Structure 1
């Protein structure tokens, strides 16, 4: 049981952040996070050392998809409450505001690629889509971010 508690404390934040990036709702993200760790307790999967994080994030993505199906894509609360997790500098806040307007699957791909450091192949396995689909989502998200930030006066040089 101590192992499960240690696993929870080690990975609760990445699981929650991924769920939040998919759902856009802190309450839904908390529900998904709880469900993910309950599934871990129920199944007690035999995982290789170091594969726990990938398993948990894959289950998180699956739970988010299940939630969307159950709720039939109801309107969600914007990600404004996620700012309570960290105080963001002004430029980062502008980027964060722009990220929030992306489609949930594009946001999720960005999160897994840039924040969690997974490759496009690993993300494709987690989300159960093709690697080219992940690449397309990342490309689309980057393009949208660039367009929005340029409209707000930011350029690639950071000025």
Structure 2
């Protein structure tokens, strides 16, 4: 892919790729590495991204790369999330911290739906699960968050 095209995509979608990677990996440094890797893959490949589908394409590539990293590293232990919430507005830090502590399957759905604005149908395609599974995971995540945060 041409460098100018990748630079335009980077300017437009780097923050989104970072947020998705952060929701999966829970490490700002690893999320930054994912952003770099995703866009380097675009530079080095001859992939064609259809106009209007850039966001979905980059989301899918990011999710797949994060899943590969998690599988390869067998990361299942909890890590400190203090660095994750530092860049968030003070009034939202508790919410972000609680979301980042959710199990991966719930955290991914919450991040994609609420933070990135994807529909249930789009999330079901990204994660290879049914729309009802997306709905159920979101419902369960909200229940967990409600208990953790107390109230609405």
Same fold per superposition (TM over 0.5): yes
Asked if 1:54 is matched to 2:56, the reply is yes
**How far off its partner does 1:29 sit?**
1.1
**How far off its partner does 1:68 sit?**
1.0
* Equivalent residues of 1:78, 1:100 under 8 A apart: no
Residue in structure 2 matched with residue 137 of structure 1 by the alignment: 137
- Measured in 2, the distance between the counterparts of 1:62 and 1:133 equals 19
Aligned residues: CA RMSD: 1.7
Flag structure 2 segments of 5+ consecutive residues without an equivalent: none
- Measured in 1, the distance between the counterparts of 2:88 and 2:46 equals 32
TM-score with structure 1 length normalisation?
Answer: 0.85
Q: Which moved more, 1:114-123 or 1:31-40?
A: 31-40
Residue in structure 2 matched with residue 117 of structure 1 by the alignment: 117
Question: After the TM superposition, which segments of 4 or more aligned residues of structure 1 sit over 6 Å from their partners?
Answer: none
**How far off its partner does 1:105 sit?**
2.4
TM-score with structure 2 length normalisation?
Answer: 0.89
Number of residue equivalences: 150
- Measured in 2, the distance between the counterparts of 1:27 and 1:105 equals 21
**How far off its partner does 1:131 sit?**
2.1
- Measured in 1, the distance between the counterparts of 2:41 and 2:137 equals 28
SS at match of 2:51: coil
Flag structure 1 segments of 5+ consecutive residues without an equivalent: none
- Measured in 2, the distance between the counterparts of 1:87 and 1:147 equals 22
